Structure 1
Amino acid sequence: MKTFREAILLLPWAIGAASMALPGSSSQVTFTAPMSWDSPPNPDATHHLVFNTVSSLLQRWPNTIYRNGHTVTPATISAGTILYHGRRNAIVPTTPEWLAFDFEHSHMFCRSSCYVISLMATRDLRLVYFDGSNAAKMRGGPMDSQDILIWEYPHPERTSSERIRISELCAWGKPFSVDGFVRMEYHFEVMLCDFSAGTEVVTLSNLIPVDIGSRRRDAGSERSGYSDPPTRRPRLPPKRPDPPTGWKGSLPTLNFIEVLNAGSWHNQAPGETRVHIDYSGVVTFYNPSLTSLVEARRGQPRSHHRLANISKTDSELVRQELAEVFARQVKGPGGGIDWGSITHVIVKRYSERLELLQYLLEPATYTNVTEQAVAVRIQILTMLAPYITTEAVRNSSDTSWVGSIVHYCSTTQTSMIPGGTLTPQERLIRDAVEGTLHEICRRLTLMWVDAFDIEAATDRRKAEALGRWRVHVRELMEWLDWSVWNKCNPACGIDALCHVPTWPFVEGDHPDDMTPRCISRVRLGELALEQTLIYS
């Protein structure tokens, strides 16, 4: 007679998951959900990538770590929202220009003379949002999705052509009544097409002039691989401005630390709350129907995913889908589901618990194998408890209850959402949620198979089980690749910021080293000023 553990491991439990057909053309790719509860995900499936994208929208931290954006979506800014524009003169722009969400971001564009315009949205502004660090003026992929929208293919040589870019984007958006575009660098920004449409000036303030220093610009940034060399000859900074009549003491300097600090307010969920995503129109390049990109991603870490190898056919598919989405003059006909909140709930539920599980499984955490196995069993049960019913346990001798754990764990968030009310874009998100949960639940249940009767097992079997569990947790966390696990540990002191060394404020010599590190506010300010003196 087989043991309970052997019987479960041989169980081909069918969870009855639906086929995950993805929107696209007649050549679309379909990945079918595993029919056996313990089947691993298809290597080319993108459930976890779509999930990560949706759960990270409008959050600065994940979009800094994974700077090559893969999603374009409709968004709005509500009437009554205040935005800021800093410049060197008192002229209200009559051509497309940039707006900041926080004063600190706009203030850095004042330079010597300083005028800051605050504007209020007089109606809901219709926007396009690009995820990733789509305002990073560097090669390697951050601007690829913008390029495909307006030029069909990525054009890395045009990274510094921002005036051309904003004009082309506004021309693309005009037939769809698009007011502007939201991107992110070290903070979020709005590329507004027409200051006279949908906004009204609240204040136009002549602020205290800003002293940006008198030191000469050098080519310091060229020593690293983060940024492209300047496309124009560095200029000497302007002469220090004269203080206004009645001013005493030093003039204010450009305080880049406060720009980064303001950006960090939106690091994690809920992110930049002044922008509202229309999830019924989320268009992602992680749609596996884009077969040229599926092939390009194989064997590549997520940080190296980009759109440079997109085929003409796939580029046309995405542009057509975007045109269809933005042709909807009102919010899409979807089910009104807040997919962002659903993904945030899942990340909150499992991220810290998986970290704790990983810690409990470390060999150095316990000296007693029994205590360790029991502690891990408790943690696994904590995560699976909502899906283990007394009726199922009562019938545990026939082993089918283990498959039901995976089924209910994977589908509880989405099972009652009517599929017929969803747009093709929402169906892709739904499948991504279920596919991501299936892998979490599958791994936890495989561990539960071992842990169910571990308390009565021999020390040798406990040690073997602990070894298997370490592998499961490590592989699961690597597959999920949630940005909440990429952090400064230990946390930074009050005089430092947790910083990812990327454009434009770098620290280090390797462009792919995205390890967060604590950096003093003074040092980070020096780096920021150095970069601005070179490129402004």
Structure 2
Amino acid sequence: MHRPTLLTCLTALSSWTAIPAIALAVGGPPGSQPLQNANHIFNAIHASMRQWDTISDIGWMAFDPEHAMVFARPASKTPRGQPDQSGSQHVMTSADEKNEAGWLHTYVTTNDLRLVYIDGTSAGKSHIGTLDLQDRVLFEDKLESGGVTQESQRARAACQIAQEEWNGRIDGVIRMAAGFEIILCKPEQMLEPVHIVRAKFPSQDKGNQGGKPGELLRTVTSRYHGIGGDRVIINYDSFVTAYDYDLDLFPLDSNLPRLDHLPASSLAPIRENLTELIMTHDVTDRLVNWQAIADMVVEKYGRSLRSLASGHHHHHHDVPLQSMTNEVARILSPFIDQDYEDIQGEIERCSTQFLPAHAPEDSLAYRSIYTVTRRICTTLVDVSQTEDYHTATTILHNLMHYLDWTVWKECHGCQDDEFCAIPIWPQGTQEDHHHPHCQKFDNAYEGVSGYWAPVWR
């Protein structure tokens, strides 16, 4: 099966909440001013893409059959012969649907697809900002306000832009709600049918209160750490993110970034730069897998930082600091020249450990990862020189707050019939966001799902 090649338009990312985020970025290559919001951009790189009747015209495609089967069911109670005007994704059904089954279509692509990836839960129909980038930037406030009811219009608008403004250089858009989906503009030209079958999910536990089928949750949560199989390749050397503009994206110190309060004129440069990227990008360019590099940084420092900041050191008053500084010395030892003391040289060697020697230093991904690793290495040196245990612990907590890595929210000890429950649109609570915990696949998210607010119809 051919794989999509993505020109990325990153709107934000915390992989556990996956809400579109946007913010300010200023900086340059190593040695210059640190890149502001590098932590947000680093996390976007680290967490991206980690959670089909023979059709014509525009179509929604799921990567996994369990996701597609959600739509392989009878439509809502629309009178027979009357078209569905809801504007939502199509449900594949026949005229006679007495047994609640529908049609599941499986296709392969005829060639590699070029797609724009809109990061975050950009297919979530929510008032909390998931659709901000699409409605305000991509569609320039030209669509009527709406969530589910405007999805068909969003798809057609995206494909119109792809054809008329981008000269057909883009085949569609990839977004995430519960699973990842592709809005494909010309499916009749891009797909070959493999098989078409009548299918339905087995009856689920009534206690699930209309939630996602357990089998879908099994599939969705198996993608927490990547969609797998190199099915999607993201270009991290050239992408557009609202973090890279001088915009007030966290009004009134809100936790979630928004675009809804900004004037259209301030958002126009984002769209212009996206168009420039699409029109000039050469898919044959050599790509650096910046996500793999971000992964190495998280794998190297994630457990160590949590352990250092946890306070789980010796109980004697004068020992914890020594224990902490000994651990920091162990982490920094590969970068220290015992014959020549050079703190800045140590920080630089530590900061560039995982950066490819010939990678473009002016790329946003390079600058973001460098800024983050330099912050980590500088903090470790500061801790090693601190003479007060409480101060050292505070420094580490501040670093962890800045990094905000998803690895620190992962559940531990889930059984085989459980998963780490985070807010997965449209279900989940604030508690699931702040303190994810193990829940059973077949009766998860019971009670009120307040994280996303009501589904935007």
Which of the five TM-score ranges fits, normalised by the shorter chain?
A: 0.7 to 0.9
Aligned residue for 2:223? 266
Distance 1:521 1:170 in 2: 36
Give yes or no for contact 1:343–1:433 (8 Å, CA) kept in 2: yes
How do 1:16-35 residues align onto structure 2 when only pairs under 5 Å count?
30-31=26-27
1:213-252 superposed Cα distances (whole Å, 9 cap, x missing partner):
999xxxx99xxxxxxxxxxxxxxxxxxxxxxxxxxxxxxx
Give yes or no for contact 2:178–2:424 (8 Å, CA) kept in 1: no
1:350-404 superposed Cα distances (whole Å, 9 cap, x missing partner):
1111112123x34xx4222454333322321222122111222xxx4xxxx1222
Give yes or no for contact 1:139–1:156 (8 Å, CA) kept in 2: no
Aligned residue for 1:439? 375
How do 1:58-137 residues align onto structure 2 when only pairs under 5 Å count?
58-60=49-51, 85=52, 91-111=53-73, 112-137=100-125
Alpha-carbon RMSD across the aligned residues, in angstroms, is 3.5
Aligned residue for 1:519? 439
Distance 2:397 2:228 in 1: 28
1:60-85 superposed Cα distances (whole Å, 9 cap, x missing partner):
2xxxxxxxxxxxxxxxxxxxxxxxx2
- Percent identity for Structure 1 against Structure 2: 23
Aligned residue for 1:172? 161
Distance 1:371 1:274 in 2: 50
Distance 1:108 1:269 in 2: 21
Aligned residue for 1:461? none
Of the structure 1 ranges 184-193 and 475-484, higher mean CA displacement relative to structure 2 is found in: 184-193
| 1:324 Cα deviation after fit | 0.9
Give yes or no for contact 1:499–1:516 (8 Å, CA) kept in 2: yes
| 1:482 Cα deviation after fit | 0.8
| 1:107 Cα deviation after fit | 1.2
Distance 2:226 2:367 in 1: 22
Aligned residue for 1:9? none
Distance 1:527 1:535 in 2: 19
Distance 1:183 1:390 in 2: 50
| 1:125 Cα deviation after fit | 0.9
How do 1:485-496 residues align onto structure 2 when only pairs under 5 Å count?
485-488=408-411, 490-496=412-418
Inter-CA distance 474–185: structure 2 relative to 1 (3 Å threshold): same
Structure 1: 5+ residue stretches without partners: 1-27, 61-84, 86-90, 222-253, 451-463
| 1:29 Cα deviation after fit | 7.7
Inter-CA distance 345–299: structure 2 relative to 1 (3 Å threshold): farther
Inter-CA distance 207–329: structure 2 relative to 1 (3 Å threshold): same
Give 1 or 2: higher helix fraction: 1
Letter in structure 2 aligned against 1:180: G
Distance 2:330 2:50 in 1: 29
- Which has more radius of gyration? 1
Counterpart among 292, 308, 316 of residue 368 in structure 1? 316
Aligned residue for 1:54? 45
1:319-343 superposed Cα distances (whole Å, 9 cap, x missing partner):
111111111363175x632212111
Q: What TM-score comes out, normalization by structure 1 length?
A: 0.67
Inter-CA distance 467–155: structure 2 relative to 1 (3 Å threshold): farther
Distance 1:487 1:308 in 2: 31
Structure 2: 5+ residue stretches without partners: 1-23, 74-99
Aligned residue for 1:482? 405
Letter in structure 2 aligned against 1:354: L
1:310 aligns to what SS in structure 2? coil
How do 1:246-265 residues align onto structure 2 when only pairs under 5 Å count?
256-265=213-222
1:355 aligns to what SS in structure 2? helix
Give yes or no for contact 1:447–1:469 (8 Å, CA) kept in 2: yes
1:128-168 superposed Cα distances (whole Å, 9 cap, x missing partner):
11110011111110111222343224979322211111111
How do 1:383-398 residues align onto structure 2 when only pairs under 5 Å count?
383-392=331-340, 396=341
Aligned residue for 2:262? 310
Aligned residue for 1:382? 330
Give yes or no for contact 1:126–1:177 (8 Å, CA) kept in 2: yes
Q: What TM-score comes out, normalization by structure 2 length?
A: 0.77
| 1:121 Cα deviation after fit | 1.2
Distance 1:150 1:309 in 2: 16
Inter-CA distance 447–179: structure 2 relative to 1 (3 Å threshold): same
How do 1:339-488 residues align onto structure 2 when only pairs under 5 Å count?
339-359=290-310, 361-362=311-312, 365-392=313-340, 396=341, 401-414=342-355, 416-417=357-358, 419=360, 427-450=363-386, 465-488=388-411
Give yes or no for contact 1:113–1:210 (8 Å, CA) kept in 2: no
Greater RCO structure (CA 8 Å; 6+ sep): 2
Give yes or no for contact 1:48–1:480 (8 Å, CA) kept in 2: yes
Letter in structure 2 aligned against 1:432: S
Letter in structure 2 aligned against 1:471: T
2:170 aligns to what SS in structure 1? coil
Of the structure 1 ranges 407-416 and 142-151, higher mean CA displacement relative to structure 2 is found in: 407-416
Aligned residue for 1:151? 139
Counterpart among 285, 289, 295 of residue 338 in structure 1? 289
Give yes or no for contact 1:145–1:154 (8 Å, CA) kept in 2: no
